[in-house]
Amino acid sequence: MKKLLVSTGGGDCPGLNAVIRGIVKRASQEQDWEVWGCYEAFNGIMEDPIRVIRLDEKAVAGIHVQGGTILGTTNKGNPMQFPEKQADGTIKKVNRIPWLVERFKSNGFDAIINIGGDGSQAISQALFEAGMPVVGVPKTIDNDLSSTDFTFGFQTAVQTATDSFDRLVTTANSHHRVMIMEVMGRNAGWIALYTAIAGGAEICLIPEIPYDLNKVIEKIESRYNNGRGFVNIVIAEGAMAKNGTITSSKGEEGRTSIRLGGVCFTLSQQLKDAGLEADVRETVLGHTQRGGTPVAFDRVIASVFGVKAMELVLAGKFGRLVVLKNNDFSSVTIKEAISEYNYVDPKGTLVQSAKGLGISFGD
């Protein structure tokens, strides 16, 4: 019997459980593969004793509708830069990939499916280069992986953000206020852009188009109509003013990336400092966008990704990532998938259409 290990790494995302279920269901149609889940990304296999769980059809029954991941996850302790305490008490970052490959092999695993975003797929590639048979599945609400039309989790995040946006519109209208709603997305403005179009925002601010505060104020004033109107703004967490800086904090020890968040307060303060008289209120949607049950579209693509990932394992096609490209499911090399970040194209159809709808990007 061959043993497959499945791990979910980085931030969680609606649809992770549907991928796990897809892998297990497809594997159960074969005689010679059994599936195991690794707890908290690769932590489960790095610990002694290892923390893994046998995943059979019973273990995954009905989980495709559940948010989060039954395996748990973490965005700390990247094995490529593992924080190791030295004798003198200092922390040194070490590459534990060769050791990790050894751990997989000595524990009898024959292949891995790693479900994760760009950071996790960089780990997949390092494992593959070190001799581990790896298949990747693209996960993230940010939709920032360039090789796939959509990552699973993105549609759910957009739906959650749009539902919240709709609620903010009615209260903005009642009180004649300017509402700023901050969404996630890291350095890509996809969630903000889709939400702004779906919700009918007046202003959408994204990292790819640094905003001119005067242009933002001009748009607000044209709609605010001396206190008789109202304005709804969607701002991506990675957005910034022209010549400004990104709003971020260092975050917890062991993280490899900075922590974004709070830009709606930065913008609110900028508007006040510029003398805007309107009542401004800020809403940070935060992790509501990552939680809860996946919408149907995400369940579908996550389930298909799971099946296709297992089929890559069965075919011995390792070092590859399953993708949805041009409305079809296929795969690309993980190396290719992580080589380019998926930014919103300021000249692309979506931004131009949003402008056609009267949405200002502050440019």
CB of 190 to ligand F6P, least distance (A): 10
Q: Considering the rule CB under 6 A, would residue 186 count as an interface residue with ligand F6P?
A: yes
Cα atoms in the 13 Å half-sphere on the side-chain side of 78: 22
Number of residues that bind ligand F6P (CB under 6 A): 13
Give the bridge partners for 185, in sequence order. none
Q: Considering the rule CB under 6 A, would residue 188 count as an interface residue with ligand F6P?
A: no
330: burial class by Cβ within 10 Å (0-12, 13-18, 19+)?
Answer: middle
Interface with ligand F6P (CB under 6 A), residue from 75, 124, 148, 164: 75
Q: How far apart are CA 326 and CA 57, in angstroms?
A: 31
Which lies closer to ligand F6P via its Cβ, residue 58 or residue 250? 250
Stated as kind and residue range, the H or E segment containing 101 is helix 97-106
Residues 192-251 binding ligand F6P (CB under 6 A) are 237
Site string for ligand F6P, 124-163 (x = CB under 6 A): ----------------xxx---------------------
Q: How far apart are CA 121 and CA 114, in angstroms?
A: 7
**Per the residue annotation, which of 142, 144, 328, 345 is the catalytic one?**
142
Interface with ligand F6P (CB under 6 A), residue from 14, 15, 44, 185: 185
- The backbone torsions φ and ψ at residue 117, rounded to the nearest 5 degrees and listed phi first, read -85, -160
Site string for ligand F6P, 302-341 (x = CB under 6 A): ----------------------------------------
Cα atoms in the 13 Å half-sphere on the side-chain side of 355: 11
Which lies closer to ligand F6P via its Cβ, residue 74 or residue 303? 74
Residue nearest to ligand F6P (CB): 184
Reduced to 3 states (helix: H, G, I; strand: E, B; else coil), residue 112 is strand
Choose among 119, 107, 137, 110: nearest CA to 187.
119
Q: How far apart are CA 52 and CA 291, in angstroms?
A: 24
The answer to whether 21 and 306 are in contact (CB under 8 A) is yes
- 142 catalytic? Reply is yes
Stretch that binds ligand F6P, among 52-60, 98-106, 178-186, 334-342 (CB under 6 A): 178-186
The answer to whether 35 and 56 are in contact (CB under 8 A) is yes
**Type of residue at 230:** F
Q: Considering the rule CB under 6 A, would residue 290 count as an interface residue with ligand F6P?
A: yes
Which lies closer to ligand F6P via its Cβ, residue 154 or residue 230? 154
Q: Considering the rule CB under 6 A, would residue 11 count as an interface residue with ligand F6P?
A: yes
Choose among 264, 176, 189, 265: nearest CA to 223.
176
Q: Considering the rule CB under 6 A, would residue 260 count as an interface residue with ligand F6P?
A: yes
Which lies closer to ligand F6P via its Cβ, residue 40 or residue 237? 237
The answer to whether 44 and 6 are in contact (CB under 8 A) is no
Which lies closer to ligand F6P via its Cβ, residue 192 or residue 310? 192
Q: How far apart are CA 123 and CA 116, in angstroms?
A: 10
CB of 318 to ligand F6P, least distance (A): 25
Q: Considering the rule CB under 6 A, would residue 120 count as an interface residue with ligand F6P?
A: no
Query: So which residues are the catalytic ones?
Result: 142
The footprint of ligand F6P (CB under 6 A) covers 11, 75, 117, 140-142, 184-186, 237, 259-260, 290
